[in-house]
Chains A and B, each alone.
Chain A
Amino acid sequence: MLILTCPYCGVAADETELAPGGEAHLRRHGPDSSDSDFEAYLFLRRNPRGLHLERWRHAHGCGKWFHAARDTMTMEVLGTYPAQVTAPPPEIVHASDADTA
């Protein structure tokens, strides 16, 4: 059972209160992009053993999208952070570095 703390309302929400949104920080490639870029944007996803940055929506709560950093092997949640960023905050990157070092 996964429990993520919504960075907007501070509620520790159960997995079943949330809607998953897949991999985070994807860069969109639109109509003018190359076929391979568009294919990568649309279909190709990381499947890491370890740190995974993902999107979640607090669907049964405040309704906001947010990001979560989770270890796919241990299910450890390294943190959650707001959606209005294009990269994870430094403390989460450092936390994951410390884990793998």
Chain B
Amino acid sequence: MFDAMSPKTGARYEGRVTVAEAGLSGMITLRGALDTIAQPVADATGLEVPDTLGIVEEGGRALAWMSPDEMMLFCAYEDAADLAARLAEATADEHALVVDMSDARAIFVLTGAETSLRETLAKLTPADVRPEAFPAGMVRRSRLAQAAAAFWIANDGTLRVMCFRSVADYVFALLSHAAHPEGAVDHF
């Protein structure tokens, strides 16, 4: 048996902001009518269904709105398989799908001044990342250069960027380049 590896284990870049890979993270995809999966999720995790485009965090777990019929539950990597199995059982009678997708995606954690975090993103995405359009607690799915990505500002003030595992290398390079110390635009 092999040990699980996150896509860019230990990757870290220190520029205007620090870009670091989050390491192994539990990610569970929930699909179905959100009101039918709300109760089982609340029972298992205590998390409420977020508003449209929202993310709620509590006790190391988070629940993110991904589309009108999709949410993603973040948890510890070790808990993901169990939690997914429990949720699958709890939603067995609904037209819903629960899958442990922990190994499908990479998460990068960007730390630094909020203005620099927003500027790093703005260099790569067409999404409006001004504070009024992209407040903390909002998940914006968009693209970073040529790769699909989702990003949000977490409760702790860090910027989280999630992308598919297959483009983790590319996205890490993009973020590092955008965070280069000599690349300051100071727009925000």
B58 within 8 A of A: no
The answer to whether A11 and B68 have CB atoms under 8 Å apart is no
Q: Which residue, A11, A63, A64, has most C-beta atoms of chain B within 10 A?
A: A11
CA gap between A10 and B68 in the complex, in Å: 11
CA gap between A14 and B141 in the complex, in Å: 12
Partner of B53, one of A11, A14, A16: A11
CA gap between A14 and B143 in the complex, in Å: 10
Partner of B126, one of A17, A62, A63: A17
Interface residues in B26-57 (C-beta closer than 8 Å to A): 52-53
CA gap between A12 and B126 in the complex, in Å: 10
B142 within 8 A of A: yes
The answer to whether B128 and A12 have CB atoms under 8 Å apart is yes
Q: Which residue, B70, B133, B143, has most C-beta atoms of chain A within 10 A?
A: B143
Partner of A60, one of B52, B68, B128, B141: B141
* Shortest distance from the beta carbon of A66 to any chain B beta carbon, whole Å: 11
B66 within 8 A of A: yes
* Shortest distance from the beta carbon of B151 to any chain A beta carbon, whole Å: 12
Partner of B143, one of A11, A17, A62, A64: A17
* Shortest distance from the beta carbon of A70 to any chain B beta carbon, whole Å: 18
Partner of B148, one of A10, A12, A14, A60: A60
The answer to whether B143 and A60 have CB atoms under 8 Å apart is yes
How many interface residues does chain A have, given as a range? 10 to 19
- CB-nearest residue of chain B to A59: B148
The answer to whether B68 and A9 have CB atoms under 8 Å apart is yes
Interface residues in A41-96 (C-beta closer than 8 Å to B): 60-64
The answer to whether A61 and B141 have CB atoms under 8 Å apart is yes
B92 within 8 A of A: no
Interface residues of A (CB under 8 A from B): 8-14, 16-17, 60-64
Q: A11-B53, A11-B127, A14-B126 are in contact. List 14 more A-B contacts (CB 8 A).
A: A8-B68, A9-B68, A10-B53, A11-B140, A11-B141, A12-B128, A14-B127, A16-B126, A17-B126, A17-B127, A17-B142, A60-B148, A61-B142, A62-B66
